[in-house]
Structure formats: structure tokens, C-alpha cells
Chain A
Amino acid sequence: ELKVEQNPLFLSMQEGKNYTIYCNYSTTSDRLYWYRQDPGKSLESLFVLLSNGAVKQEGRLMASLDTKARLSTLHITAAVHDLSATYFCAGSNFGNEKLTFGTGTRLTIIP
């Protein structure tokens, strides 16, 4: 059974700073996903990582995947207030799209 752990659970950071959210998973995962969720809203897809060493970047966010370490990271560069949200990683295996989500990281960017 796939298990996904995320840390930290809460992250408060100042604008302009850099930080990383970590996502560890327990067994082989075909794909690793990152989502953003704003309060009261559904999920917004950020990245899908398919293979070892995959790195994807969009704006101030960059995600990477290390399948050997069973670790994915979401790096935030020069944070801005608009990035305040809850971020989830999720994994899937056995070739289906049934997702197991991490606990989420509630990110607050302080001006």
C-alpha cells in the first residue's frame, strides 16, 4: 500500500525567501503529482513527474523527483504573497490514477 508523507505541515515564510517542501513515499510510485489548493477550492494541478531525475519548473515553483530515494521536492524561489495556499503531493501506482495524497503543507507568505 502506497503511503505518502509530506513535511513540513505548516510553513510560514517571508516574501523573497526560498524554501522547500518534501514529499516521501513508501513504495514504488508510477507518478508523482503536486497540487495547490486555495481555501474552499478544489485542486489545481501544478506538476506531474514521471521518471527519476525529472525536474519541472513553472514560475517560482520547481518540482523534482528522485525515485531511488522515493523523494519529491517542491522548491519555492523568492516567495510572493500569492503563493500562500496548501500544497499537496500525491502518488499513484499500478498504472491507474487512484491517488494517495500527502498530508499537505499549509504555506503562508508574510509580506
Chain B
Amino acid sequence: GAVVSQHPSRVICKSGTSVKIECRSLDFQATTMFWYRQFPKQSLMLMATSNEGSKATYEQGVEKDKFLINHASLTLSTLTVTSAHPEDSSFYICSASPRLTFGSGTRLTVV
């Protein structure tokens, strides 16, 4: 079956620093990657959609300069949380299309 690898699974960083999260499709080419955010005990909210080789499309209310998304190849998309603050602490999950497979998620804690 389709596998999407997401790293790291957990990260703790200091306020003001940047964190990069990687999402790799291991056995298929992901033309599109979706990035979701899930706050504790809440649902998943789409942050952005990225297509290989083009700029990401961000959902309303998501700061594109804060959440940098790169989709430079058909198997790798990255989300960088820049100048992280405690309110960015959340569970971040990617999914890859066309197989609609979710990564294992990244628990980000900003202290």
C-alpha cells in the first residue's frame, strides 16, 4: 500500500526558532501534498495545498510567510514553521495525493 513518511514525529523548540517538517511519499509520486493542523481535541484544518514545482496555496487565515511550504520533488514536501511561538504548538499532518495517504504526524511543542 501507499506509504507516506513524516519526520520528525515529535519536536520541541524554543520560541523564536524555526522548525522543518518533512513529508515523503515512499512508493508513489505525490503530485499534490496537503498540510493540516490539529489543535488538541479539535478537528483537522487544512493549512495549505502544494503542487510539485509550484507555489503553495494557503487557506484563509494561514500566514504564508510563517508557514513556508516547499514541494520541490514528486516525493518530498516540507513545512517550515518560522519564528515559532507557543500558539503554533499543534499536531501537523500531511497527506499526499493521488493516493490520499496521511503521514504519521508531527507533534510540535514550542516552549
Contact = CB atoms under 8 A, between A and B. Distances in A.
A24 to B, nearest CB: 14
Nearest to A1: B60
Contacts of B6: 42
Given A88-B44, A106-B41, 11 more contacts: A40-B107, A42-B105, A96-B32, A96-B97, A99-B44, A99-B46, A100-B46, A101-B44, A103-B43, A104-B42, A104-B43
Contact of A98 (B42, B49, B102): B49
Contact of A42 (B43, B46, B49, B102): B102
Interface residues of B, number: 20
Contacts of B104: 41-42
Contacts of B102: 42-43, 45
Nearest to B49: A98
Q: 4 tightest A-B contacts by CB?
A: A42-B105, A97-B97, A101-B44, A101-B43
A102 interface: yes
B44 A97 contact: no
Interface in B38-91: 41-46, 49
B21 interface: no
Interface string A78-111: 0000000000101000001111111110100000
Contacts, number: 42
Contacts of B98: 97
B93 A43 contact: yes
A88 B43 contact: yes
Contacts of A104: 42-43
B100 interface: yes
B38 to A, nearest CB: 9
